């Protein structure tokens, strides 16, 4: 596939790039500061410029978005993908819009999240809410587990839907590396059209 990856130089984006390349896909790495990876086509684009972003992602099979939610404009990003004519949009999501295990309460509403995290978290929740109103675009929002960071590429993880995944030891986590596997699996064999799903151990 030809994949346009927005936010390619970030922590998650670099792992997704590596996973895509390892499986033989073509990657256009789009970021504010162009990637220096010689194996990708690098484009420096301001993601708030809808027209420029639409031009950059045009001609690809799918757009993958891995950008910070606190600075993202969901409507502008979605409009850019639609303007480009790219048929699929896959988003690196957040965990806080998931429900706490065994409840109907979203983690964002638990009152247990430090206030300094909330701008990013509220942005992710708003992004998913915007996508749920989108009727014309084939989107997928992939939420990680609560603890999301660098680690091993094990290939051993679980998928869920609306509830936070928690391991037997009580921890909710996924490495960037295993998350990238789950995302590229979804690109290769789509199973969650116009849905959110989550990945964790």
What is the domain count for the chain?
1
Q: Model-level pTM?
A: 0.94
pLDDT of residue 8: 92
- CATH code at 41? 3.40.50.720
Q: Low-confidence residues of the chain, pLDDT below 70?
A: none
pLDDT score of 34 = 80
Q: Domain range for residue 124?
A: 2-200
The percentage of residues in the chain with a pLDDT greater than 90, rounded to a whole number, is 80
Cα four-point dihedral sign 155, 138, 72, 40: positive
């Amino acid at each position: 596939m030809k994949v346009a990856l927005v936010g390619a130089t970030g922590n998650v984006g670099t792992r997704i790039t590596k996973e895509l390349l390892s499986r033989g896909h073509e990657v256009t790495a789009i970021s504010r500061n162009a990637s220096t990876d010689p194996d990708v086509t690098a484009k420096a684009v301001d993601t708030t410029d809808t027209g420029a972003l639409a031009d950059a992602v045009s001609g690809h099979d799918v757009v993958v978005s891995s950008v910070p939610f606190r600075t993202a404009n969901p409507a502008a990003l979605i409009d850019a993908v639609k303007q480009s004519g790219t048929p699929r949009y896959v988003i690196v999501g957040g965990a806080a819009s998931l429900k706490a295990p065994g409840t109907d309460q979203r983690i964002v509403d638990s009152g247990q999240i430090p206030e300094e995290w909330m701008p990013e978290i509220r942005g992710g929740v708003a992004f998913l809410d915007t996508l749920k109103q989108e009727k014309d675009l084939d989107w997928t929002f992939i939420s990680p587990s609560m603890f999301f960071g660098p680690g091993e590429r094990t290939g051993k993880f679980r998928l869920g839907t609306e509830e936070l995944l928690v391991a037997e030891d009580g921890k909710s986590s996924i490495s960037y590396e295993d998350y990238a596997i789950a995302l590229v699996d979804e690109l290769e064999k789509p199973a969650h059209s116009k849905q959110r799903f989550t990945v964790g151990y």
